Amino acid sequence: MRKVKKVLAIYIPKMSHLHKILCLFFITISIFSCKEHKTDKSYKIFRYNQDTDISSLDPAYANTQGNIWAVNQIFNGLVTLDKKLGVIPCLAASWKVSVDGKRYTFYLRKNIFFHDAEGFENNKGREVNAQDFVYSFKRIIDQKTVSRGAWIFNDKVLKINDSTFSDTCFKAIDNYTLQITLQKPYSPFLQILTMPYAYVVPKEIVEKWQKEFRIHPVGTGAFKFKLWEDKSALVFEKNKAYWKTDSLGKPLPYLDGIHISFVNDRNIAFMLFKQKKIDFISGLDENSRDIVFDADGNIQKDFSQAFNVQKVPYMNTEYLGIQLDKSTYGNKNHPLLNLKVRQALNYAINRKQMVQYLLNNVGKAGENGAIPPFMLNSNAVKGFDYNVDKALQLLAEAGYPHGEGLQPIMLNTLTRFPYKEICEFAQREWSKIGIKIQIETLDKATLLENISNGNIKFFRASWQGDYADPENYMALFYSKNFTPAGPNKCRFSNPAFDTYYEKSLSEQNATIRNKYYQKMDSLAMTQSPMIVLFYDEVVRLLQKDILGLEADAMNNLFLETVDKK
């Protein structure tokens, strides 16, 4: 073991990035082989690549996919999601909600222990109690923590006034009973609590490491932190004292460890996958798409014989946003403020052709509302299909027959594939009805800043659901959510929409609530503050020897029930 650490210290800094990653993979095996006396083949290590950096293993900062996936392996929360994104028990065995929808009482499981760690008595992990959740949740909303996740509680839990939280918003009734009191009913609250921000952390370990808790994480999850070689490899090992078992009573997890590499070039990562040096890849770039799928979106036969491919609906809506706050326009008669022009833009795009030509049919044409249609099933709203005649009619009614009198409209996007290509496709479609579009590409930070400030009027964007409730998408149109404080980038405002939205928040009956969502989505589409382009799909590539890893619509990664032949 000492020799392994010596190799890490002496040789790794001198290597190229790719060689460093490959070396660290074999060192990972060596570390566990030394400890467990297992051979390379008998040790089950799940290997995946993270093409963007992981900045923290602290749940308080789980705001990127890389952070979230890693944090999911180490920590647990009160509740979690099943494969269909329904809320199920986790550290809370059960719960009840008061009749008025304001008070949630959770009954914790007994004999759940934090990982062994320096900072506990005798370095042995202690039992989790309700006060740990009180501490964890108050830490999230503490301004000193500067957590991006404070919003999950800030405007929801009980307050004394606008700036002061009540001492009883989070309350430990006893060691195994936790109570959360809301300011007013919020129907998706249980879904919110499945997010990593709401995972439990031990106070004494957080206070021992403070900001460095990000690289010394201690939770209750299926895996424990082992090694982090910055930008090269991150290693977790099996938590042998994990509290969960499978349906046959066999202890989880099945895997012995996890090895995360950091190859930011997706072409190289794809090559490593084909060489079987990586077990799993999520998402495809422009170059690998044609290798996996044919033009119609079918999996290429040769590829399917060598690897497993999963493709499922994704809670991600790609769209073009139109900023409707008149106060930010110098020209109050700007064509984008004309409803019929916005509707004409919607009708004039052949979305099915766009998804086929640019994306190999990975994704579904955006002909419904902002809410991905699978979330509302048969209740999904009717959006805009491809209808050039209707587009021309609306354009004429708006006073611009065949685009006459229209000045070019600026559309802002990013350069990366497929965003610029999508905008260019739309540009060609709109030229057929006489609408001239100028495309300007910006870097991500500049684009987001100008959208938030209302400076950009027409832009490409997307909304990936943070939690599995349609309310997450309808929040994009609520008038009190204007950017930069909220997610309403289009600055859409409609009193009827706001009324439906506020009613949905207090409605406990899911069937009735879905009817509100349908009405809201339909109203938003009619007013056209956005042009829905397509609903994305999760694409995952797996080695044939990986078992039990199923894709879901949030593209979650939980490895506690995954096995390796």
pLDDT exceeds 80 at position 526: yes
Identify the three-state secondary structure at position 203. helix
Average pLDDT over residues 66-95: 97
Closest CA to 77 of 197, 227, 186, 232: 197
Q: Tens digit of pLDDT for each residue in 449-459?
A: 999 999 999 99
- The yes/no answer on whether domain 76-220 falls in CATH 3.90.76.10 is yes
Query: Residue 397, SS3?
Result: helix
Q: Are strands 223-229 and 177-181 parallel, antiparallel or unpaired?
A: unpaired
- The reported pLDDT for the residue numbered 378 is 75
CA 535 to chain centre: 14
Domain ranges of the chain: 76-220, 313-538
Closest to 562 in 3D by CA, of 254, 276, 245: 254
Measured distance CA(245)–CA(420) in Å, rounded: 47
**What is the Cα–Cα distance from 217 to 206, expressed in whole angstroms?**
8
The answer to whether residue 10 scores a pLDDT higher than 50 is no
> For tokens 């938590």, what's the residue?
239
For residue 287, name the pLDDT band (cuts at 50, 70, 90): confident
Q: Can you say whether residue 54 is alpha, beta or left, with left for phi > 0 and alpha for psi between -120 and 50 degrees?
A: beta
- Give residue 177's Cα distance to chain centre: 30
Q: Under a CB-based contact definition with an 8 Å cutoff, are residues 562 and 548 in contact?
A: yes
In the numeric block, which tokens belong to residue 373?
């249609």
Going by C-beta distance under 8 Å and a sequence separation of 6 or more, which residues neighbour residue 511? none
CB 369 within 8 A of CB 383: yes
- Please give the Cα distance from 98 to 314 (Å, whole number): 33
Tokens of 206: 């957080």
Segment 537-541 shows an average pLDDT of 97
Torsion 63-470-520-347 (CA) sign: positive
Instruction: Residue 72: name the closest of 235, 260, 199, 250 by CA.
Output: 199
**Average of per-residue pLDDT across 366-380:** 91
Task: Summarize pLDDT for 418-453 with one digit per residue, the tens.
Answer: 999 999 999 999 999 999 999 999 999 999 999 999
- What's the confidence (pLDDT) of residue 11? 42
Encode 112-161 in three state secondary structure. CECCCCECEHHHCCCECCHHHHHHHHHHHHCCCCCCCCCHHHHCCECEEE
Predicted confidence (pLDDT) per residue in 18-50, tens digit: 565 555 555 555 555 555 555 555 789 999 999
467 DSSP β-pair partners = none
**Exposure string (b/e) for 496-507, b if CB count within 10 Å is 16 or more?**
ebeebbeebbeb
Residue 506 has pLDDT above 90, yes or no: yes
Does the pLDDT value for residue 558 go beyond 70? yes
3-state secondary structure at position 462 = strand
Among candidates 31, 53, 49, 33, which has minimal Cα distance to 41? Answer: 33
Across the range 198-205, mean pLDDT stands at 98
Q: By three-state DSSP, how is residue 51 classified?
A: coil
Tell me what the pLDDT averaged over the chain comes to. 93
Tell which phi-psi region holds residue 279, choosing left (phi > 0), alpha (psi between -120 and 50) or beta: alpha
| In the predicted structure, residue 532 carries a pLDDT above the cut 80 | yes
- Segment (H or E) for 208: helix 203-209
Give pLDDT, residue 162: 86
| Separation CA 460–CA 198 (nearest Å) | 31
Of 3-7, 328-332, 365-369, least confident by mean pLDDT is 3-7
* CA distance linking residue 25 with residue 29, whole number of Å: 7
Q: What is the pLDDT of residue 12?
A: 46
Pick the CATH number of 313-538 from 3.30.1220.10, 3.20.10.10, 3.60.21.10, 3.10.105.10: 3.10.105.10
Taken as a whole, the chain contains a residue count of: 565
What DSSP assignment string belongs to 284-353? --HHHHHHHB-TTSPBPHHHHHHEEEEEEEEEEEEEEEE---GGG-S-TT-GGG-HHHHHHHHHT--HHH
Q: What pLDDT sits at residue 163?
A: 86
Q: pLDDT of 119-139, one tens digit each? A: 999 999 999 999 999 999 999
pLDDT-derived band at 389, boundaries 50, 70, 90: very high
Whether 2 shows a pLDDT value over 50: the answer reads no
